[in-house]
Amino acid sequence: MKFNLRRAEDPEINLISLIDVLLVLVIFFMLSSTFIDEGRVHVQLPEAGAQSHDNQSAEPLVVTVTQQGAYRVNERELVNSSRETLRAAVAAVAGTARDGRVVLRADGRATHQSVVTAMDVLGKMGFARLDIATVQQPPAP
């Protein structure tokens, strides 16, 4: 009796097709990840290097936020730091005119919340032209 004994062949994995598929997947993920901007926050920062060229004869309304969070309207200090007091003081100075400029001067150490509150009150009152005062930095040597 003769048995036909075959030599057992070692199983092979074709790596060329696997490398091709992985390369296509890598290229696909690289290209698709560059087009996704959902997680990015686009912020346009203001520039403080140039002076305003908007010369008007009317004086702008100046709202100042101090370091302690107190408000001043045209350098007149308010009784307290509430929204209603700020709204009443701005309405008394501006009257019904809402198309004039408003300059917001905030101390660099003032809380962010007090500045945002002033901006919110002015925006809800209908002021559309809000300038934020900055100090011009000296040119670098």
What do you get for the CA distance between the two ends of the chain, in Å?
Answer: 101
Write the pLDDT tens digit of every residue in 50-104.
Answer: 555 554 446 889 999 988 889 999 988 898 989 999 999 999 998 888 888 899 9
What fold characterizes domain 61-132?
Nucleotidyltransferase; domain 5 (3.30.420)
Burial of 71 (0-12, 13-18, 19+ CB in 10 A): buried
Q: Which residues on neighbouring strands pair with residue 77, listed in sequence order?
A: 72
Write the pLDDT tens digit of every residue in 14-33.
Answer: 888 889 999 999 998 888 77
